[in-house]
A and B are shown apart, each in its own frame.
Chain A
Amino acid sequence: MVEENDRRVIEQLLAGSEPAFRQIFDQHSQRIFKYVRRMTRSVTEAEDIVQETFIRFWVSRDRFDPGRVKLTTWLHRIARNLCVDYFRQRQRQEKQGPVQSDNQDSPDADYELSARAAVVHKALMALSERQRSAIVLCHYQNFSQTDAAHILDLSVDALESLLRRGRSKLKQILAKELE
């Protein structure tokens, strides 16, 4: 499951090495950030969730079994669970009353979404969390069906069904928005 180069770093990490953690952060942070960024409304939300992802990963590193699951799959799974927690919390807040809008990117974000990218992002956000996550993991993050299903805690058949329904809905939304 683990490449030889990564094996040593993971062993050091499991022994509590902070430099090993830093190396893993450097290798995986961009990819995790892109996953979370596509799942959430803004850069700020994504940054908070990715930060928490790596802190959780470090704190519960003894639960990671490199013989059973790939590191990148494990990190995406933590990130996905935090996204789900975040959406639940937000939903509860919205039920209680108006929530202060936080869907603007921070002004110093080093990229701005183009108008067409923003339309695709909006369409993705119209999907259910599971459909969105399935599409982001398979289409953008290039995970295999097995790994994506593991991250979402689903069978491969259920993942396929989610992807099909999600793509169908996206197609309808984007046909209206982009034509």
Chain B
Amino acid sequence: MNLERFTLIVESYGADFEQWPEDERVDALKFSRTSTDAMFLLDQAEELDRHLALFELPDSELSVQRIEVGILSAFEQETLKQGALERLVGWVLPDFDNLAHTLWRPALVACMPLLLGIAIGLTLANNTYQLSSDEELSLLAFTDTASEEWSNE
């Protein structure tokens, strides 16, 4: 240990020898007791350590409680999302031990596009534009007149 290394240690870790690097601690401590320069450095570092000690924080039960509530709430939301998805997948997938009674579920899911197509088709069929009888007559008349005119010519 020399003054240069001791200066680096004290300027980096402060005057508390417990915070010094473990492998150099004993040597540095011995050095601090023999060198007046080292003692001066320690006094200077102690002043900053005292200032830093002013910012000691007590335990904050209230903050930890709020954090805990936040975590629980996040977990519950995640569990609910996961739960709904897992329940749906579990319902759809057939139970191989009871295949005869559960096979209809994936079959139903597979038929869903077909059922959806039928439903859409029926809805569109009901909504087709219905011509009134007058409109139909005029269309027929126009067609007949036109065809007669063409045939006369």
A43 touches B8 (CB 8 A): no
Determine if B36 is an interface residue (Cβ-Cβ < 8 Å): no
- Decide: A33 and B64 in contact? CB cutoff 8 A: yes
Which residues on A sit within 8 Å (CB–CB) of B64?
29-30, 33
Residues of chain B within 8 A of A37, CB atoms compared: 57, 60, 63
B12 touches A117 (CB 8 A): no
Cβ-defined partner of B60 (8 Å) among A18, A110, A135, A156? A110
Chain A residue nearest to B69 in the complex (CB) = A51
Q: Is the CB of A120 within 8 A of B55?
A: yes
Does A160 interact with chain B (Cβ within 8 Å)?
Answer: yes
Contact string, B4-20, partner A, CB cutoff 8 A, digits 1/0? 00001001111000010
Q: Could you say which residues of chain A place their CB within 8 Å of the CB of B66?
A: 47
Does residue A1 face the partner (Cβ distance < 8 Å to B)? no
- Asked whether B70 lies within 8 Å of A120 as measured between CB atoms, the reply is no
Question: Nearest residue in A to B21 (C-beta to C-beta)?
Answer: A145
With A124-B55, A167-B12 in contact, is A46–B22 under 8 Å at CB?
A: no
Max chain B CB contacts within 10 Å: which of A25, A30, A113? A30
By the criterion CB–CB under 8 Å, are B63 and A142 in contact? no
* Contact, CB under 8 Å: A139 / B60: no
Q: How far is the CA of A114 from the CA of B74 in the complex (A)?
A: 34
Interface segment, one of A65-73, A91-99, A170-178 = A170-178
- A46 CA to B63 CA, complexed, in Å: 9
Task: Among A58, A138, A161, A170, point to the contact of B19 (Cβ < 8 A).
Answer: A138
B39 at the binding interface (Cβ < 8 Å)? no
The answer to whether B54 has its CB under 8 Å from any CB of chain A is: yes
How many A residues face the partner with a CB closer than 8 A?
47
CB distance from B63 to the nearest CB of A (A): 5
Contact B13 A55 (CB under 8 A): no
> Contact at A109–B60, with CB atoms within 8 Å?
yes
Interface code A41-65, partner B: CB below 8 Å = 1, 0 otherwise? 0010011101100110010000000
Q: Mark A120-146, 1 if CB is under 8 A from B, else 0.
A: 110010000000000100111010110
- Contacts known (A34-B57, A54-B71, A114-B54); A164 close to B11, Cβ less than 8 A: yes
Distance of A139 Cα from B11 Cα, bound (Å) = 12
How many angstroms between the C-alpha atoms of A145 and B23 in the bound complex? 11
Flag whether B153 is at the interface (Cβ < 8 A): no
Residues of A within 8 A of B55 (CB): 38, 113, 117, 120-121, 124, 140
A-B contact pairs, 18 of them (CB 8 A): A29-B64, A29-B67, A43-B63, A47-B66, A50-B67, A55-B75, A108-B62, A111-B57, A111-B58, A113-B55, A119-B54, A120-B55, A138-B13, A142-B19, A156-B21, A164-B11, A168-B11, A171-B48
